[in-house]
């Protein structure tokens, strides 16, 4: 466990109840970290998970509420004495071009995908400044490619990339690294739910079409995004900060 070990570190993962966030939380725990998941789904009775013999604490938290976030982060630090890693993963999607997007749609995306990350990063930095740490934000290829019919989502993820660079520059002297990951299409419960709601009876056909948009010929698995996150949050990546890392099966460079 010497390579990419997180033993002795405390990690906080937002939106860790399913999909990419869950995969990251489980992988980090398996590498020795004390993992706390912040997820609004915990309000519905989600309990702590256990993976590789290690518990993952689940805290109910709405990232759009700054006070809730502050209290959750404070509790993590009080219980463990430190906060080494924050993965800002919580987010939602929206389908539609600018004409199909209302002001309310844009506000909702902003509140969760941008302001939610702001709340978490701000609360975490207060505790990280004395010891250093890592903040990893989940962006998207939509931030740089501008996906069709994803106006609000692309706009918000573009802000995430800019936020990442700003945090990296402002807190370099405090030993805080900040990077972001930009996944392409990932097979998560969100994808299955989207296909079920919009293409009943044609789920497999539409899944194949979506998968084919990735030059590598398939969607990513949540675990593959988690491996990238593990590297960027480990000591082995101590020379990396202020970068956006696409993990997209060739989508941004090969899909011409």
CB count in 10 Å sphere of residue 254: 11
Question: At 63, which helix (H) or strand (E)?
Answer: none
Question: Residue 201 region, left (φ>0) first, then alpha (ψ -120 to 50), else beta?
Answer: left
**Helix segments in the chain, DSSP class H:** 19-30, 66-80, 103-109, 115-128, 142-145, 151-170, 189-198, 203-212, 222-233, 251-254
Q: Exactly one of 36, 110, 153, 227 is catalytic; which is it?
A: 153
30 three-class SS? helix
Question: At 173, which helix (H) or strand (E)?
Answer: none
The rounded distance, in Å, linking the Cα atoms of 232 and 90 is 18
Lookup: tokens for 29: 């725990």
The H helix count followed by the E strand count for the chain is 10, 8
Active site residue 199: no
The rounded distance, in Å, linking the Cα atoms of 18 and 13 is 11
> Any bridge partners for residue 136, and if so which?
87, 179
CB count in 10 Å sphere of residue 45: 8
So which residues are the catalytic ones? 153
């Amino acid at each position: 466990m010497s390579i990419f070990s997180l033993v002795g570190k405390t990690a906080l993962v937002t939106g860790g109840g399913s999909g990419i966030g869950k995969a990251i939380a489980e992988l980090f725990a398996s590498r020795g970290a004390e993992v706390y998941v912040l997820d609004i789904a915990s309000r519905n009775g989600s309990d702590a998970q256990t993976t590789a013999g290690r518990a993952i604490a689940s805290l109910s938290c709405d990232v759009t509420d700054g006070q809730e976030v502050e209290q959750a982060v404070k509790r993590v630090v009080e219980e463990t004495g430190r906060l080494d890693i924050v993965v800002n993963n919580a987010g939602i999607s929206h389908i539609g071009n600018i004409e199909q997007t209302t002001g309310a749609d844009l506000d909702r995306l902003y509140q969760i995908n941008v302001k939610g990350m702001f709340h978490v990063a701000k609360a975490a930095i207060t505790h990280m400044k004395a010891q250093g740490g890592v903040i990893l934000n989940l962006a998207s290829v939509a931030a740089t490619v501008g996906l069709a019919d994803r106006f609000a989502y692309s706009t918000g993820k573009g802000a995430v990339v800019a936020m990442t660079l700003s945090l990296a520059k402002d807190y370099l002297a405090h030993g805080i690294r900040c990077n972001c990951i930009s996944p392409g299409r990932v097979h998560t419960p969100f994808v299955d739910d989207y296909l079920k709601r919009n293409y009943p009876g044609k789920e497999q056909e539409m899944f194949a079409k979506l998968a084919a948009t990735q030059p590598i010929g398939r969607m990513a698995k949540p675990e593959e995004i988690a491996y990238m996150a593990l590297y960027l949050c480990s000591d082995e990546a101590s020379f990396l900060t202020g970068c956006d890392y696409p993990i997209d099966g060739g989508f941004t460079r090969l899909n011409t």
